[in-house]
Amino acid sequence: MRCDQCDATITGEPTRTATRTLCHGCGETFVGLTAGYAATGSVGGAVSTARWYRVMRKIRRGGRS
Ligand SMILES: [Zn+2]
């Protein structure tokens, strides 16, 4: 199974949207975009929210290393 967004091979559970199957990373970005769009009503806000999601993930993962 491959990601519809980045064409990476998906290991584990894929993230399914209404129209696509995404890998974990793209799924997170998609969720961030959706949340950002809902919160700001603009694509620019959606993109910045998606980046914010990624930064938060990095902080949580890399906290101990
Ligand atoms: Zn992907």
Tell me the per-residue pLDDT of 11-46, one tens digit each, with 9 for 90 and over.
888 988 888 999 988 988 887 777 777 777 776 777
| 62 vs 4, residue with greater confidence | 4
DSSP β-bridge partners for residue 16: 21
The four Cα atoms 40, 44, 47, 51 give a dihedral, to 10 degrees, of: -90
Q: Enumerate residues 6+ apart whose C-beta is below 8 A from 17.
A: 27, 30
- Whether 7 shows a pLDDT value over 70: the answer reads yes
pTM attached to this predicted model? 0.54
Q: Which residue has the higher pLDDT, 37 or 59?
A: 59
- What is residue 34's predicted lDDT score, i.e. its pLDDT? 77
Instruction: Tell me the CA–centroid distance for residue 38 and ligand 1, in Å.
Output: 22
Residue 36, C-beta contacts closer than 8 angstroms, at least 6 positions apart: 45, 46, 47, 48, 49, 50, 52
23: CA distance to ligand 1 center in Å? 4
Question: 20 alpha carbon to ligand 1 midpoint, in Å?
Answer: 10
